[in-house]
Homo-oligomer: A and B are copies of this chain.
Amino acid sequence: MEQALKGIKVLDLTRVLAGPYCTMILADMGADVIKVEAPIKGDDSRQFGPYVNGESAYFMSINRNKRSITMNLKNPEAKKEFFKLIKSVDVVTENFKPGTMEKLGLGYDVLKEINPQIIYAATSGFGHTGPYSARPAYDGVVQAMGGIMSITGQKGGKPTRVGPSVGDIMAGMFTAIGILGALHYRTEHGIGQKIDVSMLDCQVAVLENAISRYMATGVSPKPEGNRHASIVPFEPFDTSDGEIMIAVGNDSIWQKFCTQIQREDLISDTLFATNPLRSENYEHLRPILGDIIKTKTTSEWQAIFDANGIPNGPINNIESVVNDPQVNHREMIVEMDHPIANKIKIPGVPIKMSVTQGTVHKASPILGEDTADILKTMNGLTDSEIENLKKIGAI
């Protein structure tokens, strides 16, 4: 099958999560992502548990489809090879603390002299400009500073960190978007550029209506629990054996919902007939519905609501997600064959494309797996030259 980014070469200096998530997206779409890792140690996340046959499940998941070359970027001989590679790639990515690439002598200004069309993409905690630029950051810090924690949590409760590291992941996604936009521009105009994505900026960009609510009212929104701020009923309810999320998005769904819970009297009730009324009289309505939903199991309600077009869903744990028929039909859990871990299951590719479907076509690389191959085919080195680079600790 064809792949959207076939032929695009990415020299990838990123580590751990934000950067590797970005280049995973590009590799899934067919880009040749060459992961540059420090000799011996490699990407820090190779050490993150849990392990399968000693291999990090974390690392394997977000580094599928990539190749690995080891290079000690402080070694002048390794740098020479690095500069040669820069000549033949389209994109270079890094997520070091700002200034690190310059200290290594590998800043954008240096690299664009070697390859003027190169697209240089940097992902960092606070970005390459501004008063916090030099500060170190982790996902927890940008989730705290970016406001998402302040509007996540149970009603009246503490600000709550989002489980997955969305500080990293969303920055990785925006970096991928920037690279693809820059690629389009380069194809049209032959001009490369630098992309500078800050994790904090990305958190601000995804606050949805929180900023506009604050701007319009002067009051900072707070955690709303699991309830929708302005639609009722739109929250999880306890069932006889768990919970179910019910989302009565409009009055026509409300009418169907009342019929299915055998309370048609509520449809024309002057307290509940419209969404504004239901919001106003929430405290009155919630216990009525709570008592009814408690009388059946989650899957009994699900069957009833699904048959009648009432938006609902179970609150799945990870086991249920992994075994969900829709998730599996969409190939969102795929099996990858790894030379050491053997068969492992990882998330699939969420962008379904009719002509150029992305795939998981290659396991994450063993550290330095492709060093010799890349130096031979891209830089024209001989076996003995490669052997020599190894001896001096350059690769």
**A164-B207 contact in complex given A5-B184, A154-B154, A182-B356, C-beta closer than 8 Å:** yes
Q: CA of A133 to CA of B327 in the docked complex: distance in angstroms?
A: 11
Of B131, B161, B173, B196, the contact of A174 (CB 8 Å cutoff) = B173
Is A270 at the interface (CB under 8 A from chain B)?
A: no
Interface of A is mostly: mixed
Is A213 at the interface (CB under 8 A from chain B)?
A: yes
Distance from A30 Cβ to chain B, minimum over Cβ atoms (Å): 9
Of B135, B136, B147, B344, the contact of A215 (CB 8 Å cutoff) = B344
Q: CA of A136 to CA of B332 in the docked complex: distance in angstroms?
A: 20
Contact with B along A197-234 (1 / 0, CB 8 A): 11011101111111111111100111111101010001
Q: CA of A201 to CA of B214 in the docked complex: distance in angstroms?
A: 31
Stretch from A48-56, A285-293, A367-375, A376-384 contacting the other chain:
A48-56
B-side contacts of A217, CB under 8 Å: 50
B211 near A356 with CB under 8 A, answer no
Q: CA of A61 to CA of B135 in the docked complex: distance in angstroms?
A: 30
Distance from A74 Cβ to chain B, minimum over Cβ atoms (Å): 18
A152 near B141 with CB under 8 A, answer no
Distance from A251 Cβ to chain B, minimum over Cβ atoms (Å): 13
Stretch from A34-42, A99-107, A259-267, A308-316 contacting the other chain:
A308-316
A154 near B151 with CB under 8 A, answer no
> Closest chain B residue to A151 by CB distance?
B163
Stretch from A78-86, A346-354, A385-393 contacting the other chain:
A346-354
Distance from A315 Cβ to chain B, minimum over Cβ atoms (Å): 5
> Closest chain B residue to A127 by CB distance?
B330
B-side contacts of A25, CB under 8 Å: 177
Q: CA of A56 to CA of B342 in the docked complex: distance in angstroms?
A: 53
What class of interface size applies to chain A in its complex with B?
Answer: 35 or more
Is A273 at the interface (CB under 8 A from chain B)?
A: no
Within 8 A of B (CB), among A338-364: 344-356
Distance from A332 Cβ to chain B, minimum over Cβ atoms (Å): 4
Is A326 at the interface (CB under 8 A from chain B)?
A: yes
B164 near A210 with CB under 8 A, answer yes
Within 8 A of B (CB), among A104-156: 108, 126-133, 135-138, 140-154
Q: CA of A283 to CA of B327 in the docked complex: distance in angstroms?
A: 38
B327 near A206 with CB under 8 A, answer no
Is A366 at the interface (CB under 8 A from chain B)?
A: no
B178 near A177 with CB under 8 A, answer no
Q: CA of A272 to CA of B150 in the docked complex: distance in angstroms?
A: 31
B-side contacts of A60, CB under 8 Å: 212
Of B160, B312, B354, the contact of A160 (CB 8 Å cutoff) = B160
B-side contacts of A195, CB under 8 Å: 351-354
Contact with B along A151-195 (1 / 0, CB 8 A): 111100111111111100110011111101111110111011111
B-side contacts of A354, CB under 8 Å: 108, 193-196
Q: CA of A216 to CA of B344 in the docked complex: distance in angstroms?
A: 9
**A332-B181 contact in complex given A311-B137, A311-B138, C-beta closer than 8 Å:** no
Distance from A15 Cβ to chain B, minimum over Cβ atoms (Å): 12
Instruction: Offer 8 A-B interface pairs, CB within 8 angstroms, sorted by A.
Output: A52-B216, A57-B216, A144-B315, A150-B315, A152-B160, A170-B173, A197-B352, A207-B321
With A154-B158, A200-B327 known, 7 other A-B pairs at CB within 8 A are: A4-B181, A49-B230, A141-B247, A145-B321, A160-B225, A185-B355, A201-B330
**Chain A positions near chain B (C-beta within 8 angstroms):** 2, 4-5, 7-8, 17, 25, 29, 48-52, 57-58, 60-61, 108, 126-133, 135-138, 140-154, 157-166, 169-170, 173-178, 180-185, 187-189, 191-198, 200-202, 204-217, 220-226, 228, 230, 234-236, 243, 245, 247, 249, 253, 306, 309-322, 324-327, 329-330, 332-333, 344-356
